[in-house]
Amino acid sequence: MLNRIYFGDNLAIMKSLPAESVDLIYIDPPFNTGKVQARTRIHTVRSAENGDRTGFGGQRYVTIRVGSSAYVDAFDDYLAFLEPRLLEAYRLLKPDGSLYFHIDYREVHYCKVLLDGIFGRESFINEIIWAYDYGGKPRSRWPAKHDNILFYAKNPRHFTFNVEAIDREPYLAPGLVGAEKAARGKLPTDVWWHTIVGTNSREKTGYPTQKPLGVIDRIIRASSNPGDLVLDFFAGSGTVGESCLKQGRRFILIDNNPAALEVMRQRFAGVNEVEWLDWNGR
């Protein structure tokens, strides 16, 4: 089948998909911060007379606002919103499939209890900590510089985990392990140090909560095989789709935010293997 990108309510779309048809699910749902998440994209043009900022070599530039992306990240009952979607996720996973649930410190404890109830506590494999060091640092508490990724297997005794396909990291003390091991590197632990998508990064799409391709690549390499089907039903900027295209997996992406669909249309422009489906306009 072609890769699919759906515009519409993820719950209704998931209910239309066949049971046990998906090999891997990664989701990065809204974190329920109560804030409007937004990013504004700008373009600068050199202007000695009207410039509002100074650039390289002291040149003056005028700033032009070219667009923005935003969504409201707040729910009156966050777990009630998630539960039917996670029940559908469980139904859609193949018997050897896995779910990676990306969340932050505000909600992770409640979400784990919810997932334990759906998958079973024995199906909880890992809590991955994605650590970064970017942004403001409050002086009244320890700065929060990590996200949590909960890893569940539908069958904890039989699930895909390609340990040899995982990218390796340098040893902190290579002199203690010998030249051969040092050259090969070590497997990552459950703490992943990876920068966020920087303002000037080539990855940057302008979507507010875009996650780094390196983090998604690691998950997809480890927990799926070439030709497998990967689902992201909070697709956002479409990073899961880009990773799948690069690594020979198929994908289904779902989002109900017009700004997300616009970002994905730009991201996948020229890709012929994508079917665009407007569920709202059925």
Domains of the chain: 3-34+74-278 (3.40.50.150), 39-71 (no CATH)
Query: How high is the pLDDT of residue 31?
Result: 54
DSSP single-letter state for residue 206:
S
Q: What is the pLDDT of residue 57?
A: 44
How are beta strands 191-193 and 229-232 bridged, if at all?
A: unpaired
What's the chain's Rg over C-alpha atoms?
21
Structure confidence at residue 210 (pLDDT): 58
Both tokens assigned to 36: 């409007």
- Residue 77 has a pLDDT of 79
**pLDDT (0 to 100) of residue 61:** 45
Q: What per-residue confidence (pLDDT) applies to 49?
A: 60
Residue-by-residue pLDDT tens, the chain, 282 positions:
789 999 999 999 999 999 999 999 999 997 544 444 333 333 344 555 655 444 434 454 444 343 333 334 444 578 888 999 999 999 999 999 999 999 988 889 989 999 999 999 999 999 999 998 777 788 898 988 899 999 999 999 999 999 999 999 888 888 888 888 888 989 999 999 887 655 454 554 444 555 789 899 999 999 999 999 999 999 998 999 999 999 999 999 999 989 889 999 999 998 999 999 998 765
**No. of helices (H) and no. of strands (E), the chain:** 7, 12
**Predicted pLDDT at 281:** 65
The pTM of this model reads 0.81
Q: What is the pLDDT of residue 150?
A: 98
pLDDT at 47: 56
Distance CA(28)–CA(235), nearest Å, equals 8
Q: Give the pLDDT score at 241.
A: 96
- Residues 65-99 as b or e (16 or more Cβ within 10 Å = b): eeeebebebeeeebeeebeebbebbbbbbbebbbb
